[in-house]
Amino acid sequence: MVCLLIWSSRLARIPYLTKMIRFLSYGSMAAYLFHRQIYYWGLALWDPSDIGVKIGYLTLILLPIIFIVAYGIQKGYDKVITDCRQ
């Protein structure tokens, strides 16, 4: 943790890392709220019996889907709120 604080100014200058952190943080609340529904939907599509395959599927397929869907939910929510204020 201390190392991250010390190196934070250097890390902030890495464009790809900054974009990824902004993407993850923007959709994190929606990911927190909807991850379980997306998880069960993903397991309803395919539930591998082998635990190693299941961990790989959840990590490499469903985790990115959760954040992509959460980002879309957050964008939609922000658009609705912005439109209501005008």
Q: What is the pTM of this model?
A: 0.79
pLDDT along the chain (86 residues), means of 10: 78 84 91 95 95 96 95 95 89
Would you state the pLDDT for residue 67? 94
The pLDDT, as a whole number, for residue 78 is 95
Give pLDDT, residue 21: 86
| 73 neighbors 30 (Cβ within 8 angstroms) | yes
Q: What was the pLDDT predicted at 72?
A: 96
Please say whether the beta carbons of 62 and 38 come within 8 A.
yes
